[in-house]
Amino acid sequence: MTIDKIGIIGAGQMGNGIAHVVALAGYDVALNDLSKDRVEAALATINGNLSRQVGAQKISEEDMKSALARITYAEDMDALSECDLVIEAAVEDEDIKRKIFAELCPALKPEAVIATNTSSISITRLAASTDRPERFIGMHFMNPVPVMELVEMIRGIATEDVTFSEAREFVKSLGKTVAVAEDFPAFMVNRILLPMINEAVYTLYEGVGNVEAIDTAMKLGARHPMGPLELADFIGLDTCLSVMQVLYEGLADSKYRPCPLLVKYVEAGWLGRKTSRGFYDYRGDAPIPTR
């Protein structure tokens, strides 16, 4: 099957980044979210990010205009009916993803492929909730999508070879590098990254160091471009907690137990940059540590 038109469900941080790179690669994109306002906000973000690429001379003004023209608003699932591939990039919540697939499947043509951008949830289990597990695959983009070069690809137990091949060629056409992971909780990147972030939160929780000291230690002592607590705020503390819960429940190992302080921040609604408060307070001119 030739993949020409792409549907994307979810216009948040990940969804708008995926729409950006897919449209820039020459594909038509139908972008869906709960409201038109969210899609318009995503288009404004994409416009800003493309403008920065033009300013850095990475793309031309014509490339930017063409990419923006390829992205249209999909009001409902029926608007995705002609898509060859639909990428789900909703919140990291299995129940929500299952509801999306239940609405999506009846609208799609039989040969269409469904991909999920989940960063931790079982591909096999999600695929089993659809009418096409053999045409279902994990396609985990890294954040921020326009900058990061990697896409983790994960097959469910029922994913057919042809589905995997088509999806891999599509990812390569975006200029991304594929890393193939087995269908285990959190796959590869987050299986390694999120426990490190969780351990940084434990280090803060136990009073070993404050926010600034922990982030400085890892940036200067381990050459990390961003400290683990700063990175947690960038990812979203709710997403960090969701991934740790998947690891803890899926592998039944106490080393993956989410730090109580991470739970407390999420309960407070301090989710990081997207809510202007997390391990840093972003409401002023410069971020200020909250502990």
Asked if residue 173 and residue 32 are part of one domain, the reply reads: yes
Please check whether residues 146 and 209 belong to one and the same domain.
no
- Residue 107: DSSP 8-state: G
Same domain, 235 and 166: no
Q: Considering the domain boundaries, does residue 118 fall inside one?
A: yes
227, burial (CB in 10 Å: exposed 0-12, middle 13-18, buried 19+): buried
Q: What is the pTM of this model?
A: 0.90
Note whether residue 195 is domain-resident.
yes
> Is 119 designated active site?
yes
Co-location of 123 and 195 in the same domain: no
How does pLDDT run across 110-161, given as a tens digit for each residue? 999 999 999 999 999 999 999 999 999 999 999 999 999 999 999 999 999 9
CA distance 203 to 263: 15
Query: Do residues 29 and 79 share a domain?
Result: yes
Same domain assignment for residues 146 and 234 = no
Q: Which of 52, 55, 75, 62 is nearest to 24 (CA)?
A: 62
**Domain final residue pick, 181, 204, 225:** 181
What is the model's pLDDT at position 1?
77
Q: Say if 133 falls within a structural domain.
A: yes
C-alpha pair distances (Å), 226 with each of 64, 66, 88, 285: 29, 33, 28, 19
186 lies in some domain: no
The active-site residue, picked from 92, 152, 166, 230, is 152
Peptide bond into 110 cis (omega under 30): no
User: Same domain, yes or no, for 72 and 204?
Assistant: no
Could you say which of 140, 166, 230, 242 is catalytic?
140
Domain assignment present for 155:
yes
Same domain, 107 and 44: yes
Do 150 and 267 reside in the same domain of the chain? Answer: no
Where is the domain boundary, 181, 216, 243?
181
**Catalytic-labelled residue, pool 119, 120, 122, 242:** 119
Side-chain-facing half-sphere of 35: CA atoms under 13 Å: 3
140 catalytically annotated: yes
Query: Considering its fold, how many domains does the chain have in total?
Result: 2
Q: Which domain holds residue 275?
A: 191-289
Indicate which CATH number applies to the domain containing 107.
3.40.50.720
> Does residue 224 have an active-site annotation?
no
Q: Residues 117, 190, 198, 242: which is the catalytic one?
A: 190
Q: How far is CA 110 from CA 1, 85, 102, 105, 167, in A?
A: 12, 11, 14, 9, 16
CATH code of the domain in which 217 resides: 1.10.1040.10
Same domain, 195 and 169: no
Angle between the N-to-C axes of helices 228-235 and 189-205, in degrees from 0 to 180, rounded to the nearest 10: 120
Residue 113 counted as domain residue: yes
Q: Which 3 state secondary structure label does DSSP give 270?
A: coil
Determine the Cα–Cα distance for residues 136 and 150; give it in Å rounded to an integer.
20
User: Which of 181, 199, 222 is the endpoint of a domain?
Assistant: 181
- Residues in the chain predicted with pLDDT less than 70, given as ranges, are none
Look up 173 and say whether it is catalytic. no
Task: Evaluate whether 168 touches 153 at the Cβ level (below 8 Å).
Answer: yes
* Whether residue 146 is found in the same domain as residue 240: no
Q: For residues 231 and 90, state if they share a domain.
A: no
